Structures are given as C-alpha cells and as structure tokens.
C-alpha cells in the first residue's frame, strides 16, 4: 500500500475486526433506518399522489352557504342550498372552454329492500354526464327506463344486489340496470356506495328542478385549474360570495405534503439510531487510542507528525464508516424493498431516482457521523506527549 | 577539528507539580562531537532519561540552550522538533518499540516513507536489514514473531534508515541475554566506527567502559565527564 499511515489504519481495523464490525453495525442500522424511512416517504407520497392525481383535474363549484369551507368533496355536506339555473349557465359559460362541465344533484335518501331500511347517497346526473363520467360499468348498462338506476360496487356487494335487483329509494321502486366500476375516493362523485339515477328521475323524486347542488368541471389541462378558479370567483363573486370553488389539485398537494411531513418526522426519529451509532464509534475509537498509547509514543519519537497520527485514527473511523455504510446500503435496498412492499403495497416507485437518492444521502450522513465521532479520539491521540506515551505499558 | 553535533549550555529542566516544582536537570553544560561514543550513567531517578529526552528532541529544556547539529531547539515548534527527530536522530529503545502492525521490513521502511513521502525502491531497507543479519524471510515477519535479539537488530536498522547523525540508545541491551547483548553492542560500535555519534544511557558499567567518554548524572547534575582510556 502506498500510504503507510493508511495501511496501518487498515491493519488495525483488520486486527480488531469483530470490534470494528460491531461498531460498523451501529452505522448500518442507522443507515437502514434513515434510508428506509426516506424511501418509504417517497414511495408513499408517489403512491398517494398517483392515486389522487386522477381527481386532480377536477374542480367543484357549490353555492356559497356562508358556513365556511370544510374537508371532503362538495355536496357531501348535506347543504340544502342549490346552484340556481342562471348560476349553472354562468359556470358552463366561464368554465366550458377549459373542459367538460356537468351538474350534480345529490341527497342522502332512505333506501328500502324487503324489511331492511337504511340511508345512502343518491346522485342525479344528465344521461350524457352519466355516460361520460361513469364510463366503465362492471355489469349491465345505463338506465334506459324511468325507474332504472346504477349502483356502486360496494353498495351492490353490501346489499347482495345485482343487475335486475329491485328496491325502493325515496319511496319509489327502482331496478338496477348496471353496476359502476369501483372509482375509489374521488373529489367529484363518490359512487362506490351510492345510487346514481337520471336527472329527471331525481327531480321527480326529490324536486330541485334544474337547481344542482354542485357543478363539476373536468379540466382538459390540469394547469388551467388556477385560471378557471380565478375566472369563476372573479366573475361570480364580484358583488358578494355566491359560489365556492374547490380545486382538487390543491387538496392533492396538501395530502402529499402531509405525507411528506409525516415521513420526514419519522426519518428524524430514525436518525436517533445514528446518534447511538456515533456514541459507539466514539467509544471504539477511544479504546483504540487508549490501547495504542505506547505505539503513538513510538510513532511520535521516530518522526511522525501529530497530523499524521490524527490522519491514522480518522482513516480508521472512516474505514469503519465505509464498512457500515456499504453494508447499510445493501441491506437498505433489500429491507427497504420488502418494507415498502408491506407498508405501501406496491414497489412501483422503488427504483426511481427520488426513492433511491435516499441511499447515498443516508450513506453520506452515516459516513460524516463516523468521521466526526472519530475526530476527538484521533485528536487526543495526536496531542499525546511522546514521553508519557512511551512510558505506557 | 571534529564537528560539534550536540551542545548543551546551562540547561535545566523543571517539572511543575502540584506538590512543588521538581528540578530534573540542573544547569548542565556539555558538548558532544560527531563520531563520539558517549555513555550516560547514573542511579535511577538521577535524570538520565530526562537528559536523553532533551537530546532526542522529545522535550525542550526549561532554561538554557540546546543545539543539535548547530540548531537551537529551544524555540522550535512541535512540528520542527518532530522533523528534526526524523532526519537527525535514530532511537534504539530497551524494549525495542517496533510497531506491532508492521512487518520487520515495514518497520524499517516506515521512517523512510515519512521522510521521502514514498516507499523505498532503492533497496536501502533490504541492505540495512541484511547488514544487521535479518534475511528477506525474517523481514516479512511481524515483531511478535521475532526473538528479542532479532527485534533489536530490526530496531537498529530502523534507526539508521534515514542516515541520522546521532544514535540515541536507551539501555539497548537491557532486554537481551548477555550473548545477544554483546552482538548488539558490537553492531553499535561498528556503526560508531563508521562515523555515527553514539549516545547510550545505561546502568551497565561494562557497556559504559566501552564508550569513549562517560558522563555521570546524579540528582539532575553532571557530576563527572570522563574520557575513557581504551
């Protein structure tokens, strides 16, 4: 080896290999914790963003009730206020050039099947909107008669219903014409546990002719969300607050940001394990210096400079760090992969740049902590009086 | 006229302790010429080791002036003293003090790499080891795998690798059997005959008798400086 100081550091690590590995394991655990938490955060954020992105292109406009905003999709609040026919036409006029605008009636209504009675969400849509928005049915077809409805998959399975099943809603008998494919949680219509009927049928059962609870806009370009919101608010809320616009992309970014905050906090907690590792490295390096006091005395007496003694011990700490970091990186990939598979349910984003960048990041942090932990013991070794050191047994 | 390699002018060394100052060396003046063989003797605690530490630039006197190779060391920084040790002084210790992590060859090569910032490719290390009777095979061994005599011979080779002017020996035969001790002393005398300044601290009157000059220290004071008649 070219640098004899480095060679001596390597040999000392080799001679005390068990002790060095035990110290390195501390760093390994720290790196696994930080990298795994980081990767978990990235994968979770990506997964949540991906799940929510399908609804990020939607805006919902509801009448301003003066009750303030709240969580959840508009229309789910049970608000009795409706958009007037004129308001809906204005919305269509302003937002129509940015995407598809459709009106939504909704109410929680009593449903009865046999002796069972419960309440559920009922939506009323134009047939055209029904075909456009609910474009996938798992069974049956769209309502063709006045008393046929679509039902969500959860509603169907929870109540043992299929195409052709009959029940009553709002006191009127209906027949299931089709079952909507699961859409999960969306910002516009939550149809999985709901009944969807035509606008005409809804208005004949629940009234509110041409007065929708909300207007939904499906944007052609997601980047137009701010422009449409501004246009609607500036034109329709000019004199007084008449409508409330909910931009689902804001909610998506808010949720993503919350996930990131939670995982960042978890990473911070995980980094405590690196502090424990730092104490372990510090202890090992202090032991190494104490055991080699006489050797330090010999080295100094035959012409080794203080900075070379310092370098030797820093090399040693760095080597322990490299062993720990390399081991940590390999195990982080393996454990992180399974950890994310279990926690997130998918490793679709595992091998992406944003996910894997946590590995070198954790390695560098681990290595720096290792070097810093070795600095004080190394400095102490370097500062030793050669005469005193030569006397040591 | 022979060059003066070591000059001490009224040097004193005081160790400040909580219980009071300890005067380890008291106003010592002496001069050692290049190529001299000097033995320093005295009872335990007399200040021999303290004097050796001053001569070896491991410590600096509290007062007085000490010149090594014509340079005053009293105002030198730690880094300058360390460099002076590297190029001017070869240490031979009673307990050999070889570096346990390095082979015999590497132990000899170590000061060379510190001085020249490169490994030895000139064959100097091998030549020195050969000179002290350590063959290529033995040179691969770690110090713990060598006998005391072999270790001391490696230590002598190490002390010579940077061609120092002064060899400082602290009881060089103290840990050796008498036969090996004689061999080591013969080796040191041979080096002295080739021009190396040899300073030996010893309790052994037999070794002191072999020197050109014997300096006796007692209670930190120089009590005798005698030229031996060989």
* pLDDT 10s digits, B94-107: 999 999 989 999 99
Per-chain mean pLDDT for chain A = 87
Sign of the dihedral through C-alpha A287, A291, A297, A302 = negative
Residue B230's pLDDT is what?
Answer: 58
Mutation target among B55, B100, B164 for the A interface, most CBs of A within 10 A: B100
Determine the residue of chain B that is closest to A11 in CA distance. Answer: B101
- Residues 6 or more apart from A316 whose CB is under 8 A from it? A9, A12, A13, A285, A288, A374, A378
CB pairs under 8 A between A and B: 65
The two tokens of residue B45 are 């605690």
Rounded to a whole number of angstroms, the distance from the CA of B211 to the nearest CA of chain A is 24
Residue B176's pLDDT is what?
Answer: 87
Q: Which residues of A touch B (CB under 8 A)?
A: 2, 4, 7-8, 11-12, 15, 294-295, 297-306, 308, 386-387, 390
Residue A188's pLDDT is what?
Answer: 77
Number of neighbouring beta carbons within 10 Å of residue B147: 12
- Residues 6 or more apart from B91 whose CB is under 8 A from it? A301, A302, B56, B85, B97, B159, B168, B169, B170
Q: Which residues in chain B have Cβ-Cβ distances shorter than 8 Å to A302?
A: 85-86, 91, 110-111, 114, 158
Q: Where are the beta strands (DSSP E) in chain B?
A: 4-15, 22-33, 37-41, 63-68, 71-72, 89-92, 166-170, 197-201, 213-218, 221-227
Q: Which residues in chain A have Cβ-Cβ distances shorter than 8 Å to B162?
A: 303
Asked if B196 and B189 count as a contact pair (C-beta separation under 8 A), the reply is no
Task: Kindly give the parts of chain B with pLDDT less than 50.
Answer: 1
pLDDT at A70 over 70: no
pLDDT in tens, A84-100: 889 999 999 999 999 99
Assigned fold of B4-96+164-227: Rossmann fold (3.40.50)
Q: Which residues in chain A have Cβ-Cβ distances shorter than 8 Å to B119?
A: 2, 4
Task: Say which residue, B129 or A344, is predicted with more confidence.
Answer: B129
**CA B71 to mean position of chain CA atoms:** 18
List the one residue out of A28, A44, A51, A29 whose CA is nearest residue A355. A44
- Radius of gyration from C-alpha coordinates of chain A: 33
Identify any residues that bridge with A246 across adjacent strands, giving them in sequence order. Answer: A60
pLDDT in tens, A196-255: 999 999 999 988 888 899 999 988 887 788 889 999 999 988 888 888 888 777 777 788
How far apart CA B204 and CA A236 sit, in angstroms, is 111
Task: Say which residue, B31 or A266, is predicted with more confidence.
Answer: B31
Residue A337's pLDDT is what?
Answer: 93
Residue A247's pLDDT is what?
Answer: 79
How far apart CA B32 and CA B197 sit, in angstroms, is 8
Q: Which residues in chain B have Cβ-Cβ distances shorter than 8 Å to A291?
A: none
Q: Which residues in chain A have Cβ-Cβ distances shorter than 8 Å to B161?
A: none
How far apart CA A267 and CA A77 sit, in angstroms, is 37
How far apart CA A232 and CA A236 sit, in angstroms, is 6
pTM for the full model?
Answer: 0.73
Asked if B37 and B212 count as a contact pair (C-beta separation under 8 A), the reply is yes
How far apart CA B106 and CA B139 sit, in angstroms, is 8
Residue A35's pLDDT is what?
Answer: 92
∠ CA B199-B204-B209, rounded to 5°: 65
* Strand duo B197-201 + B166-170: pairing: parallel
Q: Which residues of B touch A (CB under 8 A)?
A: 53, 56, 58-59, 78-79, 82-83, 85-87, 91, 93, 97-102, 106, 109-111, 113-115, 119, 158, 162
Q: What's the mean pLDDT in A330-350?
A: 91
Q: What's the mean pLDDT in A130-146?
A: 88
Q: Which residues in chain B have Cβ-Cβ distances shorter than 8 Å to A8?
A: 99, 101-102
Contact (CB<8Å) A300/B53: no
Quickly state the pLDDT bin for A78 (edges 50, 70, 90). very low
pLDDT at A393 over 80: no
Q: Which residues in chain B have Cβ-Cβ distances shorter than 8 Å to A299?
A: 99
How far apart CA A237 and CA A222 sit, in angstroms, is 23
pLDDT at A67 over 70: no
pLDDT at A7 over 50: yes
Contact (CB<8Å) A308/B56: no
The closest CB to that of A305, out of B82, B98, B99, belongs to B82
Q: Which residues of A273-309 are buried (b: 16+ CB within 10 A; e: fewer)?
A: bbeebbebbbebbbebbeebbbbbbbbbbbbbbbebb
Sign of the dihedral through C-alpha A189, A195, A200, A203 = negative
The closest CB to that of B99, out of A2, A298, A306, belongs to A298
Domain borders along chain B are 4-96+164-227
Number of neighbouring beta carbons within 10 Å of residue B186: 11
pLDDT at A76 over 50: no
- Give me the phi and psi of B86, to 5 degrees please: -65, -40
Q: Where are the beta strands (DSSP E) in chain A?
A: 58-63, 99-113, 116-125, 137-140, 148-151, 166-169, 172-180, 195-198, 214-219, 243-247
Residue A55's pLDDT is what?
Answer: 67
Residue A54's pLDDT is what?
Answer: 67
DSSP summary character for residue B61? -
- Residues 6 or more apart from A176 whose CB is under 8 A from it? A140, A148, A149, A150, A151, A156, A161, A162, A163, A164, A165, A166
Task: Say which residue, A74 or B116, is predicted with more confidence.
Answer: B116
Contact (CB<8Å) A306/B79: yes
Determine the residue of chain B that is closest to A15 in CA distance. Answer: B101
pLDDT at A71 over 70: no
Q: Which residues in chain B have Cβ-Cβ distances shorter than 8 Å to A387?
A: 53, 58-59
């Amino acid at each position: 080896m070219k640098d004899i100081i480095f060679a001596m550091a390597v040999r000392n690590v080799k001679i005390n290999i068990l002790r060095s590995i035990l110290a390195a394991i501390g760093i390994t655990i720290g790196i696994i914790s930080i990298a795994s938490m980081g990767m978990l955060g990235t994968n979770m954020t990506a997964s949540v963003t991906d799940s929510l992105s399908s609804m990020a292109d939607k805006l919902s406009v509801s009448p301003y009730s003066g009750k303030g905003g709240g969580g959840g999709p508009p229309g789910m609040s049970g608000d009795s206020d409706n958009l007037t026919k004129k308001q809906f036409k204005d919305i269509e006029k302003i937002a129509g050039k940015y995407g598809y605008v459709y009106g939504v009636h909704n109410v929680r209504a009593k449903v009865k099947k046999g002796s069972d009675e419960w309440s559920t969400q009922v939506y009323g849509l134009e047939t055209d909107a029904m075909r456009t928005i609910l474009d996938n049915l798992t069974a049956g077809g769209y309502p063709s008669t006045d008393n046929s409805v679509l039902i969500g998959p959860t509603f169907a399975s929870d109540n043992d219903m299929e195409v052709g099943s009959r029940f009553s809603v709002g006191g009127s008998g209906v027949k299931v014409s089709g079952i909507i494919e699961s859409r999960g949680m969306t910002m516009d219509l939550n149809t999985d546990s709901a009944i969807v009927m035509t606008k005409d049928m809804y208005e004949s059962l629940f009234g509110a002719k041409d007065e929708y609870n909300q207007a939904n806009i499906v944007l052609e370009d997601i980047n137009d969300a701010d422009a449409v919101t501004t246009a609607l608010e500036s034109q329709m809320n000019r004199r007084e607050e008449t409508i409330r616009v909910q931009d689902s992309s804001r909610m998506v970014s808010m949720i993503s940001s919350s996930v990131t905050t939670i995982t960042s906090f978890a990473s911070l907690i995980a980094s405590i394990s690196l502090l424990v590792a730092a104490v372990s490295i510090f202890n090992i390096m202090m032991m190494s210096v104490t055991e080699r006091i006489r050797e330090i005395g010999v080295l100094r007496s035959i012409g080794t400079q203080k900075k070379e003694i310092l370098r030797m011990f820093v090399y040693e700490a760095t080597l322990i760090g490299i062993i720990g970091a390399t081991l940590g990186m390999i195990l982080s990939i393996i454990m992180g992969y399974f950890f994310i598979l279990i926690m997130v349910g998918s490793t679709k984003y595992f091998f992406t740049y944003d996910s894997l960048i946590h590995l070198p990041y954790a390695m560098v942090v681990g290595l720096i902590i290792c070097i810093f932990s070795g600095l004080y013991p190394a400095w102490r070794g370097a500062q030793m009086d050669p005469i005193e050191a030569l006397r040591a047994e | 006229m022979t060059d003066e390699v070591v000059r001490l002018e009224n040097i004193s060394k005081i160790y400040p302790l909580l219980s009071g100052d300890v005067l380890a060396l008291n106003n010592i003046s002496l001069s050692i010429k290049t190529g001299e063989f000097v033995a320093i003797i005295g009872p335990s605690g007399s200040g021999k080791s303290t004097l050796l530490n001053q001569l070896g630039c491991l410590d600096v006197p509290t007062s007085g002036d000490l010149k090594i190779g014509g340079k005053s060391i009293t105002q030198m920084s730690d880094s300058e003293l360390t460099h002076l040790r590297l190029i001017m002084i070869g240490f031979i210790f009673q307990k050999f003090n070889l570096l346990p992590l390095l082979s015999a060859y590497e132990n000899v090569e170590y000061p060379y790499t510190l001085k020249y910032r490169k490994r030895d490719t000139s064959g100097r290390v091998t030549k020195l080891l050969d000179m002290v009777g350590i063959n290529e095979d033995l040179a691969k061994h770690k110090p713990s795998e060598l006998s005391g005599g072999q270790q001391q011979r490696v230590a002598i080779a190490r002390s010579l690798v940077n061609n120092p002017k002064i060899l400082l020996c602290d009881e060089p035969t103290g840990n050796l059997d008498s036969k090996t001790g004689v061999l080591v002393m013969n080796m040191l005398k041979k080096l002295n005959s080739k021009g190396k300044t040899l300073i030996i601290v010893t309790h052994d009157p037999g070794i002191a008798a072999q020197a050109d000059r014997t300096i006796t220290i007692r209670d930190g004071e120089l009590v005798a400086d005698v030229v031996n008649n060989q």
